[in-house]
Each structure stands twice: as structure tokens, then as C-alpha cells.
């Protein structure tokens, strides 16, 4: 399933998938200048299973 990137700030089919999988879309992410753009996703985990 190829989900093509959309314009920055625009909801795409990917965002619905992220929500379905309980991820929160945090925005585009680039790990180096001029490098590829990735989707930065956040996942909240239960602290009972991952103590600090």
C-alpha cells in the first residue's frame, strides 16, 4: 500500500491510518539538511508496562 506524501499541513490517507494505529502525527521530520522528509509519529505507552 503506497501512501504518497501530501503537502505539509494537509491531512492525507496516512493520517487516518496513523490514528487507527493509535499514533499521533507530530509533523514532518528531516534528520539532515537536504535529506528525505519522514513522518514524525508519537505513541503514548502505559507507564505500568514501561516504568521510568
Q: What is the pLDDT of residues 13-51, one digit of tens each?
A: 877 888 888 888 888 889 999 999 988 888 887 777 666
Phi then psi for residue 34, to 5 deg, are 80, 0
Other residues' Cβ atoms within 10 Å of the Cβ of residue 46: 6
CB environment 1-32: b (16+ within 10 A), e (fewer): eeeeeeeeeeeeebbeebeeeebebeeeeeee
Instruction: Please give the Cα distance from 38 to 30 (Å, whole number).
Output: 6
HSE toward the beta carbon, residue 39, CA cutoff 13 A = 20
pTM exceeds 0.75: no
Amino acid at each position: 500500500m503506497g501512501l504518497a506524501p501530501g503537502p505539509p499541513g494537509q491531512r492525507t490517507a496516512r493520517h487516518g491510518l496513523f490514528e487507527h494505529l493509535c499514533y499521533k502525527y507530530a509533523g514532518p521530520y528531516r534528520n539532515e539538511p537536504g535529506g528525505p522528509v519522514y513522518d514524525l509519529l508519537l505513541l503514548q505507552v502505559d507507564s505500568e508496562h514501561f516504568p521510568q
